[in-house]
Amino acid sequence: MSLQNLSDQLLHELGRQIVHGVLQPGQSLPKVEDLSAMKGVSRTVVREVLKSLAARRLIESTTKIGTRVCPRSNWQWWDRDVLTWASEVEDNHAFLTNLTEVRLALEPAAMELAARNATEQDIQHIQECFERLQASLDDEEEWVKADYDFHLSLIQASNNELIISLLQTLRLALERSRHTTFHAIRQSPAEPFPGPNEEILDRHRAVMQAICDKDGALARQKMYELLTRVSQLITTNQQGKTKKSKY
């Protein structure tokens, strides 16, 4: 996130306030001149920020009325920044559930497309990513990166830039949202992800194999199983750490 310039700083401040509910839908923002004075920036900066928020449909400006916060249903939820701000909300279990539901619908479907549309290069790239994953079985940090890239290689093989874009945005938000949620539960900075292990690796291999075999239905199913299994591990992992509370 680039906070180099004043516009971006104020954009994130106001965007966060809206998505976090400090500024409620229907509520009016101060007029440009007042905002400018309050935040100690020029009217130019304020206007640019309002345009950026309006592009995400968080606010709407009309003459005389002023600028008001739009209802949540109008928001452009699938904007990276909106999802980021939403991910930061504590007690956001419902949000995490919603994200997970979308992923569970989309990523397996993307595998079906990948089985159908993957090119030679796609297959090769997937295999390279899998080898990296396999090689990092004993390096948790490296595993996380390799896992991310492996999934990306699978998604890209769908050759549908709309799904690729959507899942990329989604995965980022999911990661951040899990981070917030689990840090809210306990203060430890540890990752909520289960460490690498043979079972999970096998499940990754099964997805890859199905795609190489052009078996769409199987690829979809194997990805669904992988995601639900990982989800389950995260949950039990988390419960174990909170319940037992060895500290």
Partner DNA sequence: AATTATTTGTCCGTATGTATG
Partner DNA sequence: CCATACATACGGACAAATAAT
Figure out which of the listed residues 101, 128, 140, 202 binds a copy of itself, where binding follows CB under 8 A: 101
Helix, strand, coil % over all residues of the chain, rounded to 5? 70, 5, 25
Letters for 66-95 (x = contact with DNA by CB under 7 A, - = none) are: xx----------------------------
Q: Are 45 and 36 in contact (CB under 8 A)?
A: yes
Alpha-carbon gap, residue 14 to 122, rounded angstroms: 41
Number of residues that bind DNA (CB under 7 A): 25
Instruction: Check residue 3 for interaction with a copy of itself (CB under 8 A).
Output: no
Pairing of the two strands 59-62 and 28-29 = unpaired
Residue 90 interacting entry, from DNA, a copy of itself, none, C-beta within 5 to 8 Å by type: none
Is 166 a binding residue for a copy of itself by CB under 8 A? The answer is yes
Cα dihedral: 149, 100, 111, 142 (round 10): 20
**Residue closest to 15 by CA, chosen among 94, 70, 90:** 70
Which listed option, DNA, a copy of itself, none, makes contact with residue 33 (CB within 5 to 8 Å by class)? Answer: DNA
Binding DNA (rule: CB under 7 A), the pick from 14, 18, 23, 32 is: 32
Where does this chain touch a copy of itself (CB under 8 A) — which range of 68-76, 124-132, 136-144, 231-239? Answer: 68-76
